[in-house]
Amino acid sequence: QVQLVESGGGLVQAGGSLRLSCAASRSIFSTYAMGWYRQAPGKQRELVAAVSSGSRPNYADSVKGRFTISTDNAKNTVYLQMNSLKPEDTAVYYCNARYLDLDYWGKGTLVTVSS
């Protein structure tokens, strides 16, 4: 079992930055693929960014060049640095850990970008 706890969401003006954190309950980054997803009101959950050990991160086209995913193995934490935020980035952001048929989710953190 893996617990994931997100933090760092909040209200920010367009053009601003936020850094989201996702703390895992144990060391998993060498095995699990880690991802950030988001779900805006009335929309489906979508992948924002993902990273796995030994692979380059991948990003949704809508956030390329603005968002960066990274991991700190010593802290069992995955980050999502979000720059140049836009109102359309407003959503609940979820952390995900996936390995074979194991799939864990955090409860999410709300990001609101005002225009």
Note the pLDDT tens digit of each residue in 56-103: 999 999 999 999 999 999 999 999 999 999 999 999 999 999 999 999
The answer to whether residue 54 scores a pLDDT higher than 90 is no
In this structure, are strands 109-114 and 10-13 parallel, antiparallel, or unpaired? parallel
pLDDT tens, position by position, 14-48: 999 999 999 999 999 989 999 999 999 999 999 99
* Tokens describing residue 23: 């703390």
Q: Distance (Å, rounded) from C-alpha 111 to C-alpha 9?
A: 5
Minimal CA–CA distance to 40: which of 91, 85, 87?
91
Position 10 confidence tier, pLDDT thresholds 50, 70, 90:
very high
Give just the sign of the alpha carbon dihedral 62, 85, 72, 101. Answer: negative
Q: Distance (Å, rounded) from C-alpha 96 to C-alpha 76?
A: 13
